[in-house]
Amino acid sequence: MEMSLIGSSPANFTITRRDLFQLSNNKNLMMICSSAAKSQIGFGRTIRCRNLRVSAQSQHAISTKTSDRNTISNPKDGVKIYVGLPMNSVSDCNGINHSRAVAAGLKALKLLGVEGVELPIWWGVAEKEAMGKYEWSGYLTLVEMIQKAGLKLHVSLCFHGCKEESIPLPKWVSEIGESQPDIFFTDHSGKHYKDCLSFGVDDLPVFDGKTAMQVYEGFVESFRNSFSPFMGSTITGITIGMGPDGELRYPSNQDHSKNSVAPGAGEFQCYDQNMMNYLKQHAENLGNPLWGLSGPHDAPTYNQQPILNTFFKEAGSWESPYGDFFLSWYSLQLTFHADKILSLAASTFSETPVTVSGKLPLIHSWYKSRSHPAEATAGFYNTINRDGYEEIAKIFSKNSCKMVLPGMDLLDELQPAESFSSPEDLLADIRAACRNHGVEICGQNLNIAGTPKSFEQIKKNLEGGNGIDLFIYQRMGAEFFSPKNFPLFSGFVRSLKQLELDSDDLAVNESEGAVFVPGKNRKLQTV
């Protein structure tokens, strides 16, 4: 079967029965010709298309056979692009959802020149029925598909649930939680967050005599052993789940979508009995037992404006000795958890040729205020007077782990003024902390529906020696492959490849000590 890769503008996305993509009338996208039948498959919907005839007239067309498929450029240099697979790629009964559409998507990404894909592996799927009873069959089948497609794989081990995709924690964990609700994060009103375990049970043997860390360790070791044939060849990186949505944070805004800008700053999540016991002990050790009786009495509620008449107001309690005590303790629990889970992952995979990473959130609401309340309730004691990310970066450096940073598509100019938000400044601060401690960064976007501006912002964050060698675009599905979004993504990938080619084209003539610039009728004198 012959295929043509044609050079690029907006088009129609279709999938044939043989899982081939057609992107017609598009000068920035690839077009694949096939005589396959028409029954079209999409992610959660059927997409119809007419028969396609292709004439490869463009002088930029590249012909290739499936047995000798050339990607757009060599991925060994520059930023490697990965695309996240659907969150529910593997069902709770270990089948592959939308398998033909996923296979077609893998082929399209390979032809586009993408390096690999990211796969979420869920605790609630692989260890669903009983502690220590692992079922990897669905994920193993999918990894084999990825390997056959010639793509690399970055795995995210998810120790949280996902309401949007109806993916819960393991059944046996939820059953324990029914009788022991303090295994979950809890807010001031007593509401439990049941999609993630509290940091308070990291070292408590509440799971049939095992601690949460021991349970996580068993899962990670079983994964390593079961997928060892793929380590280094197909699987190149592991992101270890660190909290809600896989991120290192407290679920401070549990009433809101993770991608929405909440009107408030969220609430502190330290009111389960185990966390309160730690707070009480900490206060007593410092000689202030009254400070350990509860969290701040004037802390804002989820939707309350946080910098007016609350703990976080100008000259509020956050600047008092008590405020410093509480915020230091609260953030320290987050840091302790990060050290434990990263150390566990680093030691488990120390003898394998894969990189290990953890993900931070980008809590950019209220960043322009002095008290940074949204970051504080999420566990980051980062105020006008204090850098809250240096200690986190030290922990990543100590464990030789990379840091995954989302939000590289966000611009300050698009944030609502009332949110006091600055994703660009916050991202710069975190990256500075990482540079100070030699921590490598992997980038991610936050919004699937990209715009020309957001893709330019991603490029800006990836260019110019910014220390990022891997970017994971989230995520594959109907919206990603829509006629609106996929042309933008394709153009983005091609623009990055062109930057690599332009960089590779620079050559130094040693005998003359000059740099020759291809396409320019001149040379630049070296110093």
Run of H or E residues at 184: strand 184-186
What pLDDT, on a 0 to 100 scale, did the predictor assign at position 7?
A: 33
What DSSP state is assigned to residue 202?
A: T
The pTM for the full model equals: 0.83
Question: Do 160 and 196 meet the contact criterion of CB atoms below 8 Å apart?
Answer: yes
What are the distances in angstroms from CA 110 to CA 91, 381, 504, 506?
24, 42, 22, 27
∠ CA(11), CA(12), CA(13), 5° rounding?
120
Q: What is the dihedral of CA 417, 418, 420, 421, to 10 degrees?
A: -60
What pLDDT, on a 0 to 100 scale, did the predictor assign at position 327?
A: 98
Question: Do 123 and 156 meet the contact criterion of CB atoms below 8 Å apart?
Answer: no
∠ CA(413), CA(314), CA(330), 5° rounding?
85
Tokens 């990186």 map to which residue? Answer: 237
Cite the beta strand spans of 461-506 per DSSP E.
468-473
Residues whose CB is less than 8 angstroms from the CB of residue 43 and which lie 6 or more positions away in sequence, other chains included: 86, 98, 101, 476, 477, 478, 481
Per-residue pLDDT of 239-251, as tens digits, reads: 999 999 999 999 9
What pLDDT, on a 0 to 100 scale, did the predictor assign at position 449?
A: 75
What pLDDT, on a 0 to 100 scale, did the predictor assign at position 255?
A: 64
CA gap 488, 490 in Å, rounded? 5
What pLDDT, on a 0 to 100 scale, did the predictor assign at position 497?
A: 78
Residues whose CB is less than 8 angstroms from the CB of residue 25 and which lie 6 or more positions away in sequence, other chains included: 9, 10, 11, 12
* Residue 33 burial (10 A CB sphere; 0-12, 13-18, 19+): middle
φ, ψ of residue 3 to 5 degrees: the values are: -130, 155
Closest residue by Cα to residue 471 from 84, 61, 107? 84
- Rama region for 67: left / alpha / beta (φ>0; ψ in -120 to 50; rest): alpha
Run of H or E residues at 339: helix 321-348
Residues whose CB is less than 8 angstroms from the CB of residue 118 and which lie 6 or more positions away in sequence, other chains included: 82, 83, 84, 85, 153, 154, 155, 156, 239, 472, 474, 475
What DSSP state is assigned to residue 231?
A: B
- Give every residue of the chain whose pLDDT is below 70, as ranges: 1-77, 255-263, 464-466, 499-527
What pLDDT, on a 0 to 100 scale, did the predictor assign at position 204?
A: 98
Q: How many CB atoms lie within 10 A of CB 25?
A: 10
Tokens encoding 156: 């995210």
Tokens 């660190």 map to which residue? Answer: 242
∠ CA(48), CA(53), CA(54), 5° rounding?
120
Question: Do 310 and 301 meet the contact criterion of CB atoms below 8 Å apart?
Answer: no
Closest residue by Cα to residue 41 from 73, 60, 65, 13? 13
- The pLDDT mean for the chain works out to 83
